[in-house]
Structure 1
């Protein structure tokens, strides 16, 4: 029994060692709370802790997080608001700096040039821009920091508005393809057998150059018909000339008329045979054979359409007269060859594809809402995949589809891309940008400086005396009209609302927006009305 008691004793001591300290802490907190309740003491606010030195003991404005005696919102006479010039109907902002440059927070007298007004006009008229509420009074608001230390702790960065070139564009994915107006798909004009192949994939060809020879029986027949028609016309012509002196006699006159009719019929047969060869791509004129012997004429017709450089290697005694050349209709490169010597071919089978690659097409897929902004001849920048580190390709819009793709719900746009060095490849994917507007001296700020508050787009402009010793730490809420964004999205054009050199809150400016929203919510809205 004594052994059991001795074993339980340490366990009881351990339990007391764990519980008693917790009980003492709870009792201390309860006593501290009772003391605070009796004396009226409270924990300091975070805003007071963010202040410096004496501000911790001063009365604090809970609404604006600054010392009450220095709060410009609660004490308007302490730092009167700048004069308001009201709504600018032309530019859609309150207190327009373009018409009233004195509202700008600059240490020097600002100057607005006619070029600035013209630049703003172009930017606003180009397309629909975000609009501000005419009834809003958000421009009268100011956001204040208690001190330099409080501003530094808030983590807000600032940057001046500056001039920079901007490009307004619409993006689209696309694909590089051959220019279909510069592509030829070549087939044999008649059924036959591939007798000779002279070109293969990758070789450059000139217009009219022979790529292959097809042994087609119908060609031999057409050539024979021509030779026969030529001989017949020649015979009928000689007969007519022999009868011409006797045309005045009764019997001879009748024969002359018959000979004249026979000559016309022979000439028709000759023309028919000639046109049959022309239709096969073998043009020939009777004058080309005039003065030649029968053998020379037969040889000329036998190798009709075949260049001398090739006929020199052929023996006319053993070479068929059925040869029909397949020729290139344009200068270019053989991009496909679907043929081998000895194969049977016909007009439905494509043997070669020749493309002039000095110009290519880029086919873009644009959203329907973006396609309405695109017009012919607009400049396009296209970057094929795998072209990192090189300049974008420059082309122009050549065609905008009148329909919407049923599957992708996009609009096709065709772009002509010069390719003088032949670097572009068919079926290469990439990204393009149709250039809608280019502005060389636009005013830009970091995109993170621009905020949408209620019905207004605003930036926070630093007071011109912010850095002076003892100055109040103020930011003004300024309505703006944003425009284009940079390609990487880091910069935003400000068409109206700022002047060059004004300093705006950028990184961390959400702190100012949050304070502005808090103040507005306290007044029953979040738009500054």
Structure 2
């Protein structure tokens, strides 16, 4: 092969290499220019404006969905209802008042009988019940007859007493004659001593028979009146050992009983126990003698005062709680056994906080809001997100969102919320509140008309459902999402007893419950152990 042929072979290779190099250079230049190009998206242009505030979105406004877990409050939403419409809806304003947030701890509890004032009634004789005079739930006085029992055992004991007493009387007469004979020398001292010993034995027999009759329920006067032809009969009464209420009755006519048979349970309800469950982290806040305030769902305006009388030294390994016993006066019998109650323990060291009526609060998704009144524009309201504290009676403290002196809708707030949903108004979250890939039907709302689904989210914490009270509208499908955020809680399941719904709550896993409230009222829900409770108010 010569030199010319070698040159002709290398020339095509050089051409291909040059083409590849040109292509690589063009690609690098294109990428560099794209990386320097500014982002002209509308969201970036809006975010670049200093101090810009995103307005409330109307029915046709597109918006990104807010994250359910966003902690920053949403912007205010202005709702215009009109003065006449507000008057027709019965909307009433109230001023945010100054109050004090209690400094104690709340714990769920159950009303139980005072064990020191509860007696199980059993018969003192064996036999057959011939009469029952006490009914279940009846108030009885101490000593009142509850039942009558025919007892062959009682009849036999009376016969033994009468026989022993007759023998004693005969021995007493013999002893008197022997003493006279000894005095005149007609009887020996040995004979007198023998009769003395027999007399003592007979007296002991009489006393033993009398004691037996007392144990069988006969009084001293009744025993004294016994004699030949004067027995008291074989029927004995079963008296009430204490005054109180009959909460259990097992006695029926014809039932054969003995001394171990349970006939009645009588309990004095003048004072009861509220047994609450206290978490480990709250042990330092409560001690024996601490004051306690008891409230119930049955009587929301009634607060009963008591004191902690006992704290269980053992902690339940399942719930990590200790039982706390609170003794509460119950003169009017408002508290019934088995009733759920809420105990507020401690109560010292409270802090000042604004207070609003419970009716002023509405739940929008997983957030709580109130509606401020605009005094300059009647019929115009401002929806503002608030963070609530503890409730006291019919009022609840506000930790953030409003201040003392603000005017809010106290009655009829649901009508304002309904108008907001009808208009499709919703707060658009700021860029700091937005997250990618999450949806929130409650914040986006419907495009027009009434909402097709009512959404609400409930966090299950160590101590309660958050929020504990939800507001829904009758006739509109509801979707409630429960998320258990703590493993140190008894709420491993949620139960809607009236709806026959029970759902397990795995840790940090949202569980959705769907139903349609058909009428106005309240729907109660609770944890699987019936310790933590909440309410769905349907309007």
TM-score, normalising length from structure 2?
A: 0.48
Larger Rg: 1
More helix by share: 1
Normalising by structure 1, we get a TM-score of 0.49
